[in-house]
A = this chain, B = another copy of it.
Amino acid sequence: MIENYIKTISNLKSSLYQKDFLLTWKKTKDELEQILYIAEVIKYLRDNNISVRCFDSGLAISIFRDHSTRTRFSFASAANLLGLEVQDMDETKSQIAHGETVRETANMISFMADIIGIRDDMFLGAGNAYMREVGKALDEGYREGVLPQRPGIVNLQCDIDHPTQSMADLLHLKNYFGSIENLAGKKIAMTWAYSPSYGKPLSVPQGIIGLMTRFGMEVVLAYPEGYDLIPDVIELAGKNAKETGGSFTISNNMEEAFSNADIVYPKSWAPYKVMEQRTELLKKKDNDGLKELEKECLANNARFKRWECTEEKMQLTNNRKALYMHCLPADISNISCKQGEVQDSVFERYRIQTYKEAGYKPYIIAAMILANQFEEPAKIIEKLYKNSHKRKVS
């Protein structure tokens, strides 16, 4: 199997080398599949105590402009597995920094960096832009001889996309349904769900509809009126679906979305108009305005408490047993809150599945790093496989 996977990786046409991974829709289908296969081989090697270390030293810089535990650990795990040491750039106080500061800082932290992971999802219109700005600064630094290499950038979540999450989700689906080909025609319901908190980013639903429409799936996006995503991504999802023979529809009815679905992904988010307002208020440091907005939004959310993934709704799905997905942590009714995104018994039934879903993320990130760093990733993995150097002595 592994040898076949390596062959597949080698045969897929890809120009991931030295290219930042910012949006799944800027990558070809072959490139996305290459990432999946590399991730699987890395997982196989790790599971079989074969070292995947391809750096004897080197730094993986992480810039988190928002709190994070699981993505932080996934990035650290991936980096460590390949032989890179994580160095955190502390920017917890999320700011909208531009211009000289970004340009300079990007270079100052990169003299010995091989990869940079960035999470910046708080400000609509700013997160992805920041990553591109860092990228341009690195291009200049490398071109001008400041940097001995151009470190790659991996988007660990921005305002638009969350590619390490959606790709981990895709790998989970691939293995759950047996193959990528099997995903064609499967119905996935990416639906809004009620949560007692507010301001959750749009990157997960956007990432899901932007990616799953690439593989011929029947993608339904459902949300209460007003909870729109960024129009550009909506447009893109429609275009993707047309090109791959799948479909993309929007519904304002959770039951309709669940009806006959093979996969359900119920998750809270804030309307992009609200995220826009919030970004403006954050920029102005208008704390009163922010409190007012939060109050309004929570009140609005509360009108849609019936948007919960219940046993009853699960009965509507294909064979009554659609796969439940979540990027975690979920707001579980009676467990993490009084009422939330999902009924406790539904979550409990799929709990281990959601853990497995999350478990692909470190491997996806490792694959993204490897594909960014090596022109012929298949050659590198084959070498690691043949060497069979043990990760842990025995």
Please report A residues at the B interface, Cβ cutoff 8 Å. Answer: 46-47, 51-59, 69-70, 73-74, 76-77, 80-83, 85-87, 89-90, 99-101, 104-105, 107-109, 111-112, 114, 140-141, 144-148, 328-329, 332, 335-336, 352, 355-356, 358-359, 361-362, 373-374, 380, 383-384, 389-394
- Roughly how many angstroms separate A380 CA and B352 CA in the complex, as a whole number? 34
Q: What is the total number of copies of this protein in its complex?
A: 3
* Chain B residue at minimum C-beta to C-beta distance from A148: B47
CA distance A53 to B392 in the complex (A): 9
6 example contacts (A-B, Cβ-Cβ < 8 A) are as follows: A52-B57, A55-B391, A59-B76, A70-B108, A86-B87, A141-B355
CB < 8 Å neighbour of A329 from B104, B112, B148, B374: B104
> Are the C-beta atoms of B391 and A56 separated by less than 8 Å?
yes
CB of A15, distance to nearest CB on chain B (Å): 18
A47 contacts which chain B residues (CB < 8 A)?
148
The smallest beta-carbon distance between A140 and chain B, in angstroms, is 8
Q: How far is the CA of A54 from the CA of B394 in the complex (A)?
A: 8
A81 to B59, CA, bound (A): 9
Min CB distance, A133 to chain B, in Å?
15
Which of A58, A362, A373 has most B Cβ within 10 Å? A58
Complex: A87 Cα to B140 Cα, angstroms = 32
Asked if B58 contacts A391 (CB within 8 A), the reply is yes
A80 close to B56 (CB less than 8 A): no
- A109 near B393: Cβ-Cβ < 8 Å: no
In the assembly, what is the distance between CA of A182 and CA of B114, in Å?
35
Counting from the closest, the 3 A-B pairs by CB-CB distance are: A77-B112, A146-B355, A54-B393
- Given contacts A57-B81, A69-B105, is CB(A356)–CB(B145) below 8 Å? yes
Q: How far is the CA of A147 from the CA of B359 in the complex (A)?
A: 8
* Residues on the B chain within 8 Å of A56, using CB: 51, 53, 389-392
Q: Which residue of B lies closest to A90 (CB)?
A: B69
